[in-house]
Structure formats: C-alpha cells, structure tokens
Amino acid sequence: MRVLSLYGTADGVLNFEKYEAAKINYPDAFEEVKIEGGNHAGFGYYGEQKKDKTSKISKEEQQELTVKEIFKTLGEY
C-alpha cells in the first residue's frame, strides 16, 4: 500500500503532534508533501476553518499543486 500525505505549511488546523505520532503506522511506501504557503481550507471550497492560518497562495494554486503531486505519486504526471 502507498500513502501520500499532503498538507500546507500554513495549516493551523492539523494537529501536528498527533500526525507525527501516527507516522509509525504508515507503510514503507509513505510520501509526505508540504504545499508551501497552503493552509487547511485551501484544499477545498468549504470556507475558513477555525484556527487555520492565512494562506500565502490562492486556493486555485494550492489545488493545482495538490493535483500535480497526486498524479506524480501515481506515476502519471
């Protein structure tokens, strides 16, 4: 099994302590990608999220980078 973990460097919602602790359960084929300047809400169009930080990039740019990383991981980009 492969796992791709994506998050923005301005994510104020993700609990990084729990995220780091959970990594021991991830398979060897784990890849982590940080979207520089992206925040939690930038992955969708569901509005601002409590405790989230201000994104340094547009939602469209964040989502474009996300799609590229997903296809790159799948080997189809």
Dihedral of alpha carbons 65, 70, 71, 73, sign: positive
- Per-domain residue ranges for the chain? 2-74
What pLDDT score does 73 carry? 85
For residue 70, pLDDT beyond 70: yes
DSSP string for 4-40: EEEEETT-SSS-HHHHHHHGGGS-TEEEEEEETT--S
- At 53, the pLDDT band (50, 70, 90 cuts) reads very high
With a pLDDT cut of 70, the percent of the chain lying above it is: 97
- At 23, the pLDDT band (50, 70, 90 cuts) reads very high
Return d(Cα 21, Cα 25) in angstroms, integer.
9
- At 47, the pLDDT band (50, 70, 90 cuts) reads confident
What pLDDT score does 42 carry? 96
Whole-prediction pTM: 0.86
Neighbours of 24 (CB within 10 A): 6
Nearest to 62 by CA among 3, 15, 7, 16: 7
